Structure 1
Amino acid sequence: MDRDLKALLDTAVRVEPSLRIDAAAVLADGRRRLRRRRLFTVGGVALSVIAVAVSAVFMATRHADRIAAQSPRERQLSATFLLADHLPNGMTASGPNRFVRTENAYELHAELTDQLGTATLDIGVTLPRPWTAGCEQYHRVFWCGVFLLPDGSRLVAYQSEDPPGMFEFLVVRQVGDHIVSVRLSTRGTDGRPTRPKPPLTIHQLIGIASSPALSQ
């Protein structure tokens, strides 16, 4: 193609009056311009890719910060209440092991595991709301009791085994104007029991609910 173009230019120069056109220089200049356009295009694509990558990293970093960020109350609860201190030997807790803010509470969720199986443990510190300590609101329970603790707070504890072989413990404690709740369940996501007996007793759950770290 270059040869055809050069021949055409040479013919035009011979037929027409001299325009002082250098065919070789025209072709060389055309090649340089083509290389610059290709380089600019490739460079532009590379810059666009880099910009998208940097933007993605920045957004991911912001997203990670948003997930990791905790309020002062969340950090206080996570630092002062250590679930491992309330578990018997041989039992482990999996999960974030820190409190997170939900719509109306600070919550900690964990899965307790030992050689007999697993159980779900939920701990919540509810924001101020009215509550009446009593067993009347809990139905179909195996056992329920109301206690007045030495610090003046009231506590309701109930144990349910419905259906048989499926255990659920709930301890609710009123501390000032907020509520501390501790729930233990051996019901699996498929509706079947995850272990033959609960990993913690109702008295151990009362001990968790009575932790001074949850009362501050």
Structure 2
Amino acid sequence: MSASFTDKSWSIFNQSISEYHKVDDVDQPMNNPYEEGTIEATLYHKNWIDTVQWHLEDIIRDPQIDPETALTIKRRIDASNQDRTDMVEEIDTWFREKYANVDVKADAKINTESPAWAIDRFSILSLKIYHMREEVERNDVTPEHHAKVASKLTILEEQKIDLSTAIEELLEDYASGNKYMKVYRQMKMYNDPSLNPVLYKQSK
């Protein structure tokens, strides 16, 4: 029996996280082990972007950070968010092609979010669990801290089960024609020189 899509995704996400933490440097290159153009390669790349951004978000919250360095990192985070959005849309394109020939039922319903945005949350959840587990395994904390983070880890692991179940049910609905995909491309304005007034007023 082949692994479910969420099982495969979870394995790839944790592979990416593990590989990142071997060096633990936001400037390290990504070495994607999967063949270019495959959904596996896209999932790995997606999580790598999320993992690097997770650590950039940690760095920028250093109260002693130099303002110029903080601005540079903020711009990296903005660029990363755009890359993340592009990657989500690439995953949705894969899903649309996968279910393109399904006979959609007359009473089929639309979902509140596309499958790729659910996978995006799944990727972020893998990072939350990894780093919360790190907190649980610390030896330099009080019993109170340990109990608090252990409780949070339990909740996150429950959320992983619930989210993976919901994603699998959604994919089954697409496969059976009970739901249909309708993807709205993200229309981010702040990165577009023609839509961000701060940028387009400077060009006049």
- Greater RCO, 1 or 2 (C-alpha within 8 Å, sep 6+): 2
Structures share fold, TM-score greater than 0.5: no
**TM-score, length of structure 2 as denominator length:** 0.22
- The structure with the largest strand share of the pair is 1
